[in-house]
Amino acid sequence: MQDAAVLTVNSGSSSLKLAWFRIGGAQPVPLCKADMKGIGSDAGTLTITLFTDQARANGAESKPEAQSRNETQGRWPDQPSAFDAALQAVEKAAAGQRWATRPDAIAHRIVHGGPDITKHGPIDDRTRKLLEEAMPFAPLHLPIELALIDATRTRFPGVPHFACLDTVFHNGLPAVAKRFPLPEALCQNGLHRYGFHGLSYEHTVATLGESIPARTVIAHLGSGASLAALQDAKPMDTTMGLGPTGGIPMSSRSGDLDPTILLYLMREHDYDADKLETLLDRQSGLKGLSGLSSDVQVIQEAADKGDATAAFALTYFVTAVAKAVGSFAAILGGVDLLVFTGGVGEHSAALRERIADKLGFLSLETRVVASDENKQMAAHVQSLLG
């Protein structure tokens, strides 16, 4: 499909990122993005950025420049209502642009495909049913993503929809990385390591291209955080497991824990599944360690002012990332390149430096790659449409 417009839909628990791209050239060209934060609160924000389409004017791919940007405040109780509000605002901001009224295709970021969806592809009734059946694997993410799929299919009937999954990148993990030390019967029910942030890893690999060395570790550090070990650009291991709660500690997620802790809380403090889920996903990680915030910038500012608890939280995080890279060095036989991506990985030079200092004995190089999951989704749609 030449010169088509793709809308990408990327949701979080209280955020929504929409982006429009023109496809048909060497790589997708951004036309507009709409970022929404604070969904479900009384202080939501919507930021719309329009880009000049320099590639069209020059006849070649070039870096787009922001043409205009505006921010508004509002209250959106859920993702579908936020989606409708964003579309209305973009249609007004990009008046007269066909892509703003009706895209040619829509791509949805799906966190977890469960055991049955292993490729990026079209969303039909069967795919939607499989995603619904996979809900127990990602109960915090999939209900929101399914609601947005339903909302977009209703608003844009006849437009092809595509599922781009964070789990696809890790499908090729070797058995020793994919398997949990559980009875085979349980593993056959889909209990294995899936890995996440796959779209971010795919984008990083595509950005590095042929320059990617044989032994590479990518650290996607954001509100959710994980690392992946790559041998010749192929995944060999990753920190997250069955769901996106495990691995290193994150903004408010615990990361890996001694399972005895969970049994103790269930037996001695009457924790049930819902209470454990709240603890592990919303009250732990940097938020739990600092007792202050889940925002790294807030914690860093407090640490710089002498807050010992905030400083300890950051030290804990730095140590956890360095330990993960060290373990991957054992798997890869060394590390040639450590790539930082994600919001924290891109913007916190202080944490990057501390992590690199801990890993000085590996004599590795470091690099920062800006994460762009939406662009990667648009690239997948271009490939799927041929």
Active site amino acids = 166
The DSSP annotation for 135-192 comes to GGGSTTTHHHHHHHHHHHHHHSTTS-EEEEETTGGGGG--HHHH--SS-HHHHTTT-S
Q: Distances in Å between the alpha carbon of 316 and those of 48, 123, 213, 239, 250?
A: 36, 41, 29, 16, 11
Could you give the angle at the alpha carbon of 137 between the alpha carbons of 151 and 144, nearest 5°? Answer: 20
Closest CA to 88 of 12, 18, 40, 3: 18
Q: 278: which residues sit within 8 A by CB, 6+ positions away?
A: none
What helix, strand, coil percent values describe the chain, rounded to 5?
Answer: 45, 20, 35
Q: How many residues does the chain have?
A: 386
- Residue 305 exposure: Cα atoms within 13 Å on the Cβ side: 6
